[in-house]
Structure 1
Amino acid sequence: MKTTTRRGVLGAIAVAPAVLAAPALSHTSADAAIEAAWQRRVEAYAAFHALPEDNGPIVDGYGPGEREQWDIIDEAEELIRSTAARTPRGAMIQLWCAMYHSVTGREDDEALTRADFAAIDRLDSSLDWSARLTLSALRSLQSMEG
């Protein structure tokens, strides 16, 4: 009997590329904590996806190195969720994180991780209402950034 792991369930999710990475952090950023958490999340997803596919032995649903990356991701996402954003960039990071968890297909995930609004728009009819509203908010915040 094959054990289902978190890696197996989320294996199709692509790593967030540099286009979604937070810009270089400055000490004056009002959302430095959110931006730093996003960067840790991006790096942990990259490390997770760099692990071998046959990453055994599986213990409590995790292969070697997987639990550590998920702990980093979970901690970063909790900070992103629980911290009030003070800039459009901080709010965008929160919405990208929410959107990342609301899409269901690999094609959606890939468009999302590229921050490819045009590709997501083409998938509009396949997105649920919540994802469509999140995308609208992301567009608005992006326009505020200039």
Structure 2
Amino acid sequence: MPRDHRPATSVRILLAEDESGRHGALALLLGLEPGFEVVAQVERGDEVVKKAWETRPDVALLEVELPGLSGLDAAAALRDEVPECRVLVLTTSARPGHLQRALSAGAAGFVVKDGPVEELVRAVRMVLTGETVIDPALAAAPDDSA
């Protein structure tokens, strides 16, 4: 994946998660990771594209359930508007149809939000190399997205 003016060791992250739950904890944990920088945080899906244009992240971590626009719809908007930004969709539970919708929206990964931060960091690094990352527990969920 070609890099423009950014140092190769810095991974710029946009984090979109609903304000409920452990607000800010994930951003803090990711920011402590060497070479990771959380450049933007939003609480609504309809803020994702605008913030991505402003901050030019390498990776967007989008929670499935967001007010204003779902993380799945925000992923599709990023695919169309900011295609150089890789997307990882975060979820707390496997719901039928979400995996297929995430992949159809252009997401490079679908992972558990509440898992160990080390697994999320590994997933971010993998999608930056062009790989697709799907949490095995989520891949096993039934898909009745009809």
| TM-score, L = length of structure 2 | 0.31
TM-score by length of 1: 0.31
Q: Determine which structure has more spread, i.e. the larger CA radius of gyration.
A: 1
Relative CO higher for 1 or 2, CA cutoff 8 Å, sep ≥ 6?
1
